Amino acid sequence: MSYLDSLNPSQYDAVTYTDGHIRIIAGAGSGKTRVITTRIAYLIESLGIAPYRILAITFTNKAANEMKERVYSILGDDASGMFVSTIHSFCVRLLREDIHKMGDGYPRNFTIVDSDDQKSILKEAYKMYGIEVKSYSYANVLSYISACKGEEISPEAAMSIANEFTSEKIKAQVYDYYEKRLEHMKALDFDDLLLFTNRLLKKDQEVRVKWQRRFDYIHVDEFQDVDKIQYSIIRYLVSDKCNLCVVGDPDQTIYTWRGADVNIIMNFEKDFAPVHTVMLNENYRSCPSILKGANSVIKNNKNRIDKDLYTSRQEDNKIIHYSAFEEALEPAWVCQQINKCIQSGAAYRDIAVLYRSNYLSRSLEKQLLEARIPYRIYGGVRFYDRAEIKDALSYLRMLIHDNAAIDLALKRIINVPKRSIGNKTVETIEDYSRSENMNMYEVIKNHDVARGKAQTALNDFIKLIEKYRNLVNSMSISMLLEGLMDECGYMQMLEDDKETERIENVKELINDIEDFETANPDGTLDEYLQQIALYTDKEQENNGQFVQLMTIHAAKGLEFDIVFVYSMCDGIFPSEKAISEGGRTALEEERRLAYVAFTRARKQLFISDAQGYSYVMDRIKLPSRFIKEIDPDTIEHFGVQDATQHTASRQEELPSGQAAKALTYVDEEGHAPVKTSGRIRKGDLVVHTSFGEGVVLDTSQGVWKIAFNNKFGIRKIMANHPSITKK
Q: Vertex 402, ends 398 and 404: CA angle to 5°? A: 95
Site string for ligand ATP, 260-289 (x = CB under 6 A): ------------------------xx----
Q: Which residues contact 522 (CB under 8 A, 6 or more apart)?
A: none
Taking CB under 6 A as the binding criterion, the range among 32-40, 367-375, 494-502, 691-699 that sits at the site for ligand ATP is 32-40
* 597 Cβ neighbours under 8 A, 6+ residues apart: 354, 552, 555, 563, 565
Cβ distance to Mg ion smaller for residue 27 or 557? 557
Q: How far apart are CA 498 and CA 487, in angstroms?
A: 18
Strand (E) or helix (H) holding 377: strand 375-377
Q: Is 68 a catalytic residue?
A: no
**Of these, 10, 22, 33, 333, which contacts ligand ATP (CB under 6 A)?**
33
Q: Counting contacts by CB under 6 A, is residue 30 touching ligand ATP?
A: yes
Residue nearer to ligand ATP on the CB measure, 385 or 559: 559
- Which of 15, 31, 398, 514 forms a contact with ligand ATP (CB under 6 A)? 31
40 binds ligand ATP (CB under 6 A): no
Is 283 one of the binding residues for Mg ion (CB under 5 A)?
Answer: no
Q: Is 27 annotated as a binding residue?
A: yes
Interatomic CA distance for residues 442 and 436, integer angstroms = 10
DSSP state of 157: H
502 binds ligand ATP (CB under 6 A): no
**Local structure of residue 279 (DSSP, 8 states):** E
Shortest-Cβ-distance residue relative to ligand ATP: 31
CA 694, CA 723: separation in Å to the nearest integer?
12
**Which of 22, 29, 399, 575 contacts ligand ATP by CB under 6 A?**
29
- Residue 294 CB, shortest distance to ligand ATP, in Å, is 11
**Active-site residue, from 179, 189, 192, 221:** 221
171 in contact with ligand ATP (CB under 6 A): no
- Find, among 599, 566, 588, the residue nearest to 257 by Cα: 588
State in angstroms the smallest separation of the CB of 572 from ligand ATP. 23
Cα distances from 61 to residues 89, 90, 349, 508, 554, in angstroms, run 9, 11, 19, 30, 11
Instruction: Clarify whether 108 is annotated catalytic.
Output: no
Task: Find the radius of gyration of the CA atoms of the chain.
Answer: 29
* Binder of residue 31, out of Mg ion, ligand ATP, none (CB less than 5 to 8 A by kind): ligand ATP
Nearer to ligand ATP, 24 or 509 (CB): 24
Measured distance CA(259)–CA(438) in Å, rounded: 55
Distance between CA atoms of residues 308 and 313, nearest Å: 16
Q: How far apart are CA 249 and CA 295, in angstroms?
A: 13
Residues 188-207 close enough to bind ligand ATP by CB under 6 A:
none
Q: Which of 222, 350, 508, 517 is catalytic?
A: 222
The verdict on whether residue 678 carries a ligand-binding annotation is no
Where in 32-82 does DSSP place strands (E)?
Answer: 54-58
Q: Does 250 bind ligand ATP (CB under 6 A)?
A: no
Catalytic residue from among 53, 356, 600, 603: 600
DSSP symbols for 645-686: -SS--SSS-BPPP---SS-----TTSPPPS--TTT--TT-EE
Q: Measured from the CB atom, is 31 or 51 closer to ligand ATP? A: 31
- The interface mask with Mg ion, positions 24-63, x = CB under 5 A, is --------xx------------------------------
User: What minimum distance in Å lies between the beta carbon of 10 and Mg ion?
Assistant: 15
Residue 639 marked as a ligand binder: no
The strand pair at 560-565 and 351-355 is best described as parallel
What is the contact surface with Mg ion in residues (CB under 5 A)? Answer: 32-33, 557
Catalytic residue positions, numbered: 32-33, 221-222, 252, 600
What is the contact surface with ligand ATP in residues (CB under 6 A)? Answer: 6-8, 11, 26, 28-34, 249, 252, 284-285, 557, 559, 599
